[in-house]
Amino acid sequence: MSVGEAILRAVLVLAGFLVLPLVVGQSEHKVMAHMQGRLGPMEAGGFHGWAQLVADGVKFVQKEDIVPRAADRKIFRIAPMLAIVSYLAALAVIPLGPDLVGADVPASLVWVLAVGGIGTVGTLLAGWSSGNKYALLGAMRAAASLISYEVALILAAASFAIAAGSLSLVGIAHAWTPWWLIWQLPAAFVLLAAGTAELQRVPFDAPVADAEIVMGPYTEYTGLRFALFLLAEYAGIVVLSLLIAVLWLGGWTGPFDAHIGWLWTVLKAAIIVFVIIWMRVSWPRVRVDQLQRFTWLVLVPIALLQLLITAAGVVLWQ
């Protein structure tokens, strides 16, 4: 790879990272407005509320940036950046097409799982450094969620790697067949549920729990620093949706994929994004004990059973 090509790939990844989370945020405003009958997000700026995201941005810019006196100032400032940069590193290795990827590394699946968890570490640091008991409680809940759901997430991803015989996302997408839509359906379910829990999205948002612990780890954050955590959440949705699209839905596979393969990947990821937003609109928050029970008594057993089924399928049919 030439230096010019490497720079071009880096620029494209950065552009996608700056644009796609904003598109997800705007889409969430519209989907929630339609499903819940919210009038506000449909009115800002006139036609279909096109300026809602702009209004939110202006609101955050105008907010005062406050650092609590009892906070660890350095960690308090670093935490939001750590939360969002981790997803940039993950996005760099997720392919939109066989040759359209920021960096085609041999074990890209392992890389995504490793750096994706750093975002939750940013949340943990935010709560610990705030000098606030509610923020610390939220951070401890986030840590417990990370430890629990990371197990299910890794087991589900391992099923796809075993089925393809590769740890490369490009290699897994090349090995994909339509049979995977049924064969790997339980793994996809675990991947979606565990990934949503790590993003602390409804119904797995007990670490934030605005009705119980104010805003959890983000209680003391204001202005643009708080906005960075929201943007990190949307960036995490982008990474999770693209990952499921590549692993379970075949990525760029589709009609005329030689020419518009990247578009198929984006469209499949958009379906997953809609499902994640739909879950937020439809389901209530679960309790902390239910959060732990769900992963250890439901997701982990399903993922282990799926590993057994995948291993048997590889031995018998491949």
User: What would the 3-class secondary structure string for 98-150 be?
Assistant: CCCCCCCCCCHHHHHHHHHCHHHHHHHHHHHHCCCHHHHHHHHHHHHHHHHHH
> Distance (Å, rounded) from C-alpha 282 to C-alpha 278?
6
Q: Tell me the C-alpha to C-alpha distance, in Å, between residue 290 and each of 37, 145, 203, 205, 206.
A: 29, 11, 11, 12, 10
Give 159-178 pLDDT, tens digit per residue.
999 999 999 999 999 999 99
**∠ CA 185-186-187, rounded to 5°:** 90
* pTM reported for the whole predicted model: 0.93
Which DSSP string corresponds to 159-213?
Answer: HHHHHHT-S-HHHHHHH--TTHHHHTHHHHHHHHHHHHHHTT-TTS-TTT-HHHH
> Distance (Å, rounded) from C-alpha 71 to C-alpha 80?
14
DSSP label at residue 248 = T
Token pair, residue 119, equals: 């975002």
Full pLDDT tens readout for the chain, 318 residues: 677 788 888 888 889 998 999 999 989 988 888 888 777 777 777 777 778 888 888 888 888 888 888 888 899 999 998 888 899 999 999 999 888 888 888 899 999 999 988 878 888 899 889 988 888 888 888 888 888 898 999 999 999 999 999 999 999 999 999 999 999 999 999 999 999 988 888 888 877 777 777 788 888 998 889 899 889 999 999 999 999 999 999 999 989 888 888 999 999 999 999 999 999 888 888 888 888 899 999 999 999 999 999 999 998 886
Closest CA to 241 of 220, 270, 202, 219: 270
Number of other residues whose CB lies within 10 A of the CB of residue 136: 19
Q: Tell me the C-alpha to C-alpha distance, in Å, between residue 105 and each of 7, 94, 284.
A: 16, 10, 39
Using CA atoms of 101, 106, 112, 115 in order, give the dihedral in degrees to the nearest 10: -110
CB 241 within 8 A of CB 269: yes
